Amino acid sequence: MKEIYLDNNATTKVDETVFEEMRPYFTELYGNPSSMHFFGGQVQKKVDEARGCVAELLGASPDEVIFTACGTESDNAAIRSSLAVFPDRRHVVTSRVEHPAVLTQCRNLIQQGYRVTEIGVDSAGCLDMTALKAAVDEDTAIVSLMWANNETGVVFPVEEAAAIAKAKGALFHTDAVQAVGKIGIDLAHSAIDMLSLSGHKLHAPKGIGALYLRRGTPFRPFMVGGHQERSRRAGTENTAAIIALGKACELAGQYMEKENTTVKAMRDRLEQSLMVAIPNARINGAGAERIPNTTSVAFEFVEGEAILLLLSELGICASSGSACTSGSLEPSHVLRAMGVPFTCAHGSIRFSLSRFTTDGEIDTVIRELPLIVNRLRQMSPFGRDQL
Amino acid sequence: MWDYTPIVKDHFLNPRNVGDIPDADAVGEVGSLACGDALKLYLKLDENKQRIVDARFQTFGCASAIASSSALTEMVKGKTLDEALAISNQDIAEFLGGLPEEKMHCSVMGQEALEVAIAKFRGEPVPEHDSEHDHGHAYPDNEGTVVCKCFGITDTFLKKVIETNKLTTVEQVTHFTKAGGACGGCLPRIRELIDEVLGQNTQQPRKRPDKLSNLKKMQMIQDVLEKDIRPLLWADGGDMELIDIDGSRVMVAFRKACAGCAASGNTALMVQQKLREFVAEDIVVEEVAG
């Protein structure tokens, strides 16, 4: 069965070009970039080139890019560093809809005696900027807000939020894992101090990420024990993956327009067709600015895991904000923060497209999903009078 | 992805007996939209009203909820009411070749709906649903008090599930009943219920050792604080944190409801007493700001 992969916010296919680029660095060019000999030196050069490509996509300087193992590490490093460099500041500001990489860490900080403010969102998923302004004070060490939400695709006004943080002397970090490659980023003209990105969300392999650290920003490394990454991230470089990330960022720059035209058009068509074909359905975050590849659709009276497994039977890969898929018993914290009713939250499905998605694949979903929802609704004790 | 057995998959993809029975003799309904799963079970009895001749279901829920409902209807057909009542949630899970532990609550839901249906048919008391979250509320033998407020689950129901399935950990109870799966406020009470059902403290009885190295002592202090003392404080909405250990001096800070509580001096004494009992007699507990 050929898969129809519409779960690109979970992970992406490694681009063939990216894979070819990294391939020699396993069995042929396996030198350590720190070595004095030519054999390691040539790898060092490629790592530097890759750093340049990542910087280019972000509108940053190469020395502002630190390679890490993943987006989660970048998030952890940014927040911990901020607290270490501002020992007198005991307050952290984030949002209720962050990825667990940020949210779990912030909640753990409460146990360590920090004050943590989680800013809420409205029903469209938009950040409460008034609450943000009120929350940030002279005690705030760091404000960490995601650029684009992984579940709904809703975009936060991070520049505006960064300005609010800077006005009180706090650092500003953004988890841009879902935004990079979909939104134009120009950190040279920005108030953002730190930004996290992840390779496997943009067609590079898993196990590679980066942290952008604005030049002059005080920093305390998360990993110590080596001089790599100018002592800001110890540990032998994952050279092949770094080189892959560089290539992936180069390609992401080239495909950004396609993401915002072709991919967006497919996403919009999917949404419109589903809304016409399926009653009692809604788009979570429809009223907000969103990244072009993501849609979160809620169907009343049915449960998300059942939809996902029936889609999976047809080779269609998506994900869900439902509780049952994760083993937890409550639906997604993002949908709950938006006030999506439980009845809808349990039946929410996320489709996330990529530049490899085809119109034919979208046609298949438009054809099959209404049948699946109808089949499950026929089985459900609820909402039968509304079918 | 869940590791469902081929039987679960079959009953999910090709569910048996979906639908309603307009002239059903017995109907049992448990769960709600808010809970994330719900089951309405219809039973048709023979002329003597003794034996189940047809069973149908409507289910809102995940694959294992649908499969459990389908399995249940297959299992009860042809059985007398008493035979049907003997079906446990374990039997439903076994019929399906097993369920992931996190999904065992789906089999419990099936068993629950069956009991409700038969109780209603027999005119036995079934409490009205008074909350949006009503798992366990529907349990016919309901004289208990609500333990899990998030999902509305009573102690009577929990004890039955603990007993039937021989559960020994709080996590298992959550997997089987959902209780404690949301805010977590009732987890200490669930621990108590497990101990009550098993008729003993399931944790090894603690005994104060004769001689301790410093490292061992510190580990034991932490262990007693985590397992014996903090759960007691949680029950009253309080908490505490271990700040430091210096020889026999144990410095703690009280949190939440305990912080600034006029009785915190007594609480500190209680902590000291416990630590003296389980770790070493010379322990002194000091409350510090932190």
What is the predicted pLDDT for the residue at A331? 79
Asked if B226 reaches chain A (Cβ–Cβ under 8 Å), the answer is no
Mean pLDDT on B275-287:
87
| Nearest-angstrom CA–CA distance, B82 and B139 | 17
Q: Which structure tokens are listed for A232?
A: 């800001």
Q: How far is A160 from chain B (nearest CA, A)?
A: 34
Q: How far is B143 from chain A (nearest CA, A)?
A: 26
Q: Of residues B202 and A162, which shows the higher confidence score?
A: A162
User: At CB < 8 Å, which residues of chain A contact B?
Assistant: 111, 113, 301-306, 309-310, 313, 322-325, 327-331, 342-343, 346, 378-382
The model's confidence at residue B207, banded by pLDDT at 50, 70 and 90, is low
Q: What is the DSSP letter of B207?
A: -
Question: By the 8 A CB rule, do A3 and A346 touch?
Answer: no
Does the structure show a pLDDT above 90 at B114? yes
Q: How far is B247 from chain A (nearest CA, A)?
A: 23
What is the predicted pLDDT for the residue at B137? 44
Of A303, A310, A330, the CB nearest to B60: A303
Cβ contact B33–A342 (<8 Å):
yes
Render pLDDT for B164-191 as a digit per residue (tens, 0 to 9): 888 888 888 888 888 888 778 888 889 8
Mean pLDDT on B130-138:
43
Which domains are present in chain A? 4-10+256-386 (3.90.1150.10), 16-251 (3.40.640.10)
Q: What residues does CATH 3.90.1010.10 cover in chain B?
A: 6-198
Residue A28 burial (C-beta neighbours within 10 Å; 0-12, 13-18, 19+): exposed
What is the predicted pLDDT for the residue at A198? 98
| Nearest-angstrom CA–CA distance, B222 and B203 | 16
Range B214-287 has CATH code 3.30.300.130 = yes
Does the structure show a pLDDT above 90 at B276? no
Of A303, A327, A328, the CB nearest to B37: A303
Of A323, A325, A380, the CB nearest to B58: A380
Cβ contact B62–A113 (<8 Å):
no
Q: What is the DSSP letter of A15?
A: P
The answer for B126, left when phi > 0, alpha when psi is -120 to 50, beta otherwise, is: beta
Pick from B9, B10, B60, B225 the residue to mutate for testing the A interface (most A CBs within 10 Å).
B60
Q: Of residues B286 and A293, which shows the higher confidence score?
A: A293
| Position B264, amino acid | S
pTM: 0.80
What is the predicted pLDDT for the residue at B228? 80
Q: What residues does CATH 3.30.300.130 cover in chain B?
A: 214-287
Does the structure show a pLDDT above 70 at B129? no
Which regions of chain A are under pLDDT 50? Answer: none
Count of C-beta atoms within a 10 Å radius of residue B200: 9
Q: Domain B6-198 - what CATH class? A: alpha beta
What is the predicted pLDDT for the residue at A385? 61
Q: Of residues A103 and B218, which shows the higher confidence score?
A: A103
The model's confidence at residue B140, banded by pLDDT at 50, 70 and 90, is very low
Does the structure show a pLDDT above 90 at B281? no
Question: By the 8 A CB rule, do A226 and A32 touch?
Answer: no
What is the predicted pLDDT for the residue at B178? 83
Residues of A in contact with B37 (CB under 8 A): 303, 324
Does the structure show a pLDDT above 90 at B151? no
| Nearest-angstrom CA–CA distance, B264 and B270 | 9
What is the predicted pLDDT for the residue at B131? 38
What is the predicted pLDDT for the residue at B130? 37
Asked if B241 reaches chain A (Cβ–Cβ under 8 Å), the answer is yes
| Nearest-angstrom CA–CA distance, A295 and A285 | 8
What is the predicted pLDDT for the residue at A244? 98
The ipTM assigned to this model is 0.86
Q: How far is B284 from chain A (nearest CA, A)?
A: 23
Mean pLDDT on B84-97:
94
Asked if B182 reaches chain A (Cβ–Cβ under 8 Å), the answer is yes
Q: Of residues B205 and B62, which shows the higher confidence score?
A: B62
What is the predicted pLDDT for the residue at B205? 57
Asked if B176 reaches chain A (Cβ–Cβ under 8 Å), the answer is no
